[in-house]
């Protein structure tokens, strides 16, 4: 006895679209609110990434004394203090960006990178 062939569906075959990863499509968020001691986070990704820091200070006339945060980028060795309510910094793959906030400063840290990148925001 001969094996029967299954009839094929009429029409063109459809192929699945390959999933492409868009830049900055993965987003991680971390809240930071130091108590009586400075507190910080380390942000890293195995793909290029951006880190946004937004804080609780939006007043006029400058920030209060001892208020603010410090941002350090490992690959450049650069670090800077800031009292700006918003700070954005970019990093290359496998870089580490550290943000340390002073007591009284609270904020949200947002890391954006490719959807297939291994990424983290960890407390220091």
3-state class (DSSP) for residue 12: coil
Closest to 88 measured CA to CA, from 106, 105, 112, 56:
112
Find residue 88's DSSP bridge partners.
52
Q: What distance in Å separates the CA atoms of residue 26 and residue 64, rounded to the nearest whole number?
A: 34
What is the rounded CA–CA span in Å between residue 20 and residue 59? 42
Confidence of residue 38 (pLDDT cuts 50, 70, 90): very high
Say what percent of the chain tops pLDDT 90: 53
What SS3 string covers 22-53?
CCCCEEEEEEECCCCCCEEEEEEECCCEEEEE
This prediction has a pTM of: 0.78
H-run or E-run covering 21: none
Report the CATH fold assignment for 26-123: Jelly Rolls (2.60.120)
Model confidence at 21, in pLDDT bands (50, 70, 90)? confident
**What digits encode the pLDDT tens for the residues 43-76?**
999 999 999 999 887 666 666 667 789 999 999 9
Cα 58 to Cα 72: distance, rounded to the nearest angstrom = 23
């Amino acid at each position: 006895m001969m094996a029967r062939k299954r009839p094929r569906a009429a029409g063109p075959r459809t192929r699945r679209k390959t999933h492409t990863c868009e830049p900055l499509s993965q987003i991680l968020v971390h809240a930071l609110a130091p108590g009586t001691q400075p507190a910080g986070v380390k942000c890293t990704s195995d793909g290029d990434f951006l880190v946004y820091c937004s804080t609780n200070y939006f007043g006029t006339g400058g920030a209060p004394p001892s208020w603010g945060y410090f941002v350090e980028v490992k690959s450049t060795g650069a670090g800077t203090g800031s009292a700006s309510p918003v700070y954005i910094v970019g990093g290359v793959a496998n870089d580490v960006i550290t943000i340390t906030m002073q007591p009284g400063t609270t904020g949200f840290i947002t890391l954006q990178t490719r959807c297939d990148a291994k990424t983290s925001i960890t407390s220091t």
